[in-house]
Amino acid sequence: MIEMLNNSRLKENRTTRAIITNMLLAAVSLFVNGFGVYLTIQANIGAGPWDVLNLGLSKTLGILYGTASVAISYAILGVDIALKEPIGIAMFIDAFVVGKAVDFFNKINVVPKCDSMLKGIVVMLIGLVIMAYTQYTYMSASLGCGPRDTLLVALAKRANKIPIGAVSIALLSLATFIGWLLGGPVGVGTLICAFATGPIMQMAFSSVKFDATHVHHQHLADSVKIFVDRKTA
């Protein structure tokens, strides 16, 4: 996988082979990312802001977590498209794989819910670390960021002089509030996710010398054009 990530030709997604390889990289990364999300939920001390919303919708409608997650993700993706933000193939993979990965791990019950605050905090932090490193491998595919990250950028662009950090807090607060109204679990873990995710991700990116700002994500239209032209060399 390291060799794959370091292959500049794959990063540039100039051929159908490169795109398919990176689609697989993104899918595997997001599946493992789903395990990280699953751990933060099993920590049982309150879920992350978006998961409060996913779990609240799941509880209200009596559907699986993954089904709720996929529905919300594609709804956000629709907003991203309406706002004319750049869309990549991996965004569609992200919208589906993470939620259904959580359903898979729930089904096999690989990690029981934590029964103490200390154990819950440890499990949650492990989950956040897994999510951070898989975010790195997912972004390395250069096929688009997640629907929620794209929405954040879109809102920040339209918020004039309001810092993106403030926009992020407002967006996460809204997701948490709506999720709480729907019966989603809010607790210490919600605060940990809200304030520790960024620093943990930065630590992970620094450890592998990865700068997310230098990644050029390929637009969906460009990917489709390469497939239509059948560029395999």
Domain residue ranges of the chain, discontinuous segments joined by +: 2-228
Q: Is the pLDDT of residue 153 over 90?
A: no
Is pLDDT larger for residue 133 or for residue 217? 133
Q: What token pair was written down for 178? A: 């709506």
Residue 198 confidence (pLDDT): 86
The per-residue pLDDT for range 11-28, each reduced to its tens digit, is 578 889 999 999 999 999
The mean pLDDT of the chain is 90
Q: Is the pLDDT of residue 9 over 50?
A: no
Cα–Cα distances in Å, from 111 out to 35, 42, 65, 115?
10, 7, 16, 12
Residue 138 confidence (pLDDT): 93
- Residue 220 and residue 90: Cα distance in Å, rounded? 9
Is pLDDT larger for residue 229 or for residue 134? 134
* Three-state SS sequence of the chain: CHHHHHCHHHHHCCCHHHHHHHHHHHHHHHHHHHHHHHHHHHCCCCCCHHHHHHHHHHHHHCCCHHHHHHHHHHHHHHHHHHCCCCCCHHHHHHHHHHHHHHHHHHHHCCCCCCCCHHHHHHHHHHHHHHHHHHHHHHHHCCCCCCHHHHHHHHHHHCCCCCCHHHHHHHHHHHHHHHHHHCCCCCCHHHHHHHHHHHHHHHHHHHHCCCCHHHCCCCCHHHHHHHHHHCCCC
Q: Is the pLDDT of residue 4 over 70?
A: no
Rg (CA), the chain: 18
Name the band, by pLDDT with cuts 50, 70 and 90, for residue 232: low
Q: Please answer whether residues 21 and 137 qualify as being in contact, where contact means their C-beta atoms are separated by less than 8 angstroms.
A: no
Residue 11 confidence (pLDDT): 54
Residue 66 confidence (pLDDT): 96
Q: Is the pLDDT of residue 75 over 90?
A: yes
Q: Is the pLDDT of residue 30 over 60?
A: yes
Is pLDDT larger for residue 214 or for residue 143? 143
Residue 8 confidence (pLDDT): 46
